[in-house]
Amino acid sequence: MLIAQLSDPHVRPEGMLYQGVVDSNAQFTAAIAHVNGFDPPPDLVLLSGDLVDEGTDDEYATMARLLAPLKAPVLAIPGNHDDREAFRRAFAGLSWLPEAGPVDYVADRGAVRIVALDVTLPGLHHGAMSEAGAAWLDGVLAAEPHRPTMIMMHQPPFDTGVPYLDLYSCRDGHRLAEVVARHPQVERIVCGHVHRFMQVRFGGTMLCTAPSTTTAIALRLRPEAKPASHVEPPALLLHHWQAGVGLITHFVPIGTFPGPYPFA
Ligand SMILES: [Fe+2]
């Protein structure tokens, strides 16, 4: 099973740039073309939040239009830049979408079970692992203890060491760690939000964050560091389930590059 993960495209209304600088729509289009070009094709595409920048219906209409050429089925969660109800309208009619409340759901579509965990708090940039959310997750994981499982969420539940990111993490991450530690079938937790690739051990499993298709948040590790971002090469993650091995996560720069050249 092949699962592509695109994150934080921050789609804008047609003709508008992200933060007045970056054509996030063109970069999302390039990301989708890159995913469509994979051979073998992915079975699923995950969108791990911040699909749009300001949460307007206009942006979601553009997002839907840009997403239309994607050949693989999509599973999405909102991020802090999404508007949960506008997000719900944008994906109305899809089988995985809950009708109300947090966008929590389970998708059983192949070797790897996907659990979408909505830790966003409408109107706020940080997230939180609520007691109710943790109890829901515990029940969902207990129901299928032998299925390899991936949890998708937006804000990461750990301190990254980048000070301006850690103001807006998923708080009360210990609740998530305690649940995950009880369910060793959780192969990976995947997040968005930080616009960088990171990996860390969490709750006894592996957690990784996805790069954005649009911009990279600056890698600054001093406590007094000021927030900034760069237009680094955009990238996506490709999670490859190999029976007998596990879940292999590839970091994949988006674009076309010189080559192929001889291997040896
Ligand atoms: Fe974002």
Q: Distance from CA of residue 84 to its chain's centroid?
A: 15
Answer yes or no: are the C-beta atoms of 201 and 158 closer than 8 Å: no
Asked if residue 174 is part of any domain, the answer here is yes
Distance 213 CA to ligand 1 centre (A): 10
CATH code assigned at 240: 3.60.21.10
pLDDT of residue 112: 98
- The answer to whether position 187 is within a domain reads yes
| Plot region of 113 (φ>0 → left; ψ -120 to 50 → alpha; else → beta) | beta
Is 260 among the domain residues? no
CA of 72 to the centre of ligand 1 (A): 23
- Please indicate, yes or no, if residue 263 is contained in any of the structural domains: no
Contact 11, 53 (CB under 8 A): yes
> How far apart are the C-alpha atoms of 149 and 161, rounded to whole Å?
27
Pairing of strands 149-152, 186-191: parallel
Structural domain contains residue 217:
yes
144 within a domain of the structure (yes/no): yes
75: β partners: 46
210, 208, 230: which is closest to 219 by C-alpha? 230
User: What is the share, in percent, of the chain residues with pLDDT greater than 70?
Assistant: 100
106 alpha carbon to ligand 1 midpoint, in Å?
Answer: 23
Contacts (Cβ under 8 Å, ≥6 apart) of 209? 156, 160, 190, 191, 192, 193, 194, 196, 197, 198, 199
Cα gap 158→169, rounded to integer Å:
7
Q: What is the mean pLDDT of the chain?
A: 97
DSSP H/E element including 247 = strand 246-253
Over 90: is that where the pLDDT of 264 sits? no
Q: Give me the sign of the Cα torsion angle 242, 246, 251, 254.
A: positive
- Model confidence band, residue 35 (pLDDT cutoffs 50, 70, 90): very high
Domains in the chain, number: 1
Edge to edge, the sheet with strand 246-253 lists 74-77, 44-48, 2-6, 235-242, 246-253
DSSP H or E stretch at residue 170: strand 170-171
Name the residue range of residue 203's domain: 2-253
Q: Does a structural domain hold residue 24?
A: yes
pLDDT given at position 183: 98
201-251 pLDDT, tens digit per residue, is 999 999 999 999 999 999 999 999 999 999 999 999 999 999 999 999 999
194 Cα to the center of ligand 1, angstroms: 7
pLDDT above 80: residue 96:
yes
Ligand 1 center–CA 86 separation, angstroms = 17
Ligand 1 center to 108 CA (angstroms): 27
232 found inside a domain = yes
pLDDT (tens digit, 9 = 90+) per residue, 50-90? 999 999 999 999 999 999 999 999 999 999 999 999 999 99
The string of pLDDT tens digits covering residues 130-189 is: 999 999 999 999 999 999 999 999 999 999 999 999 999 999 999 999 999 999 999 999
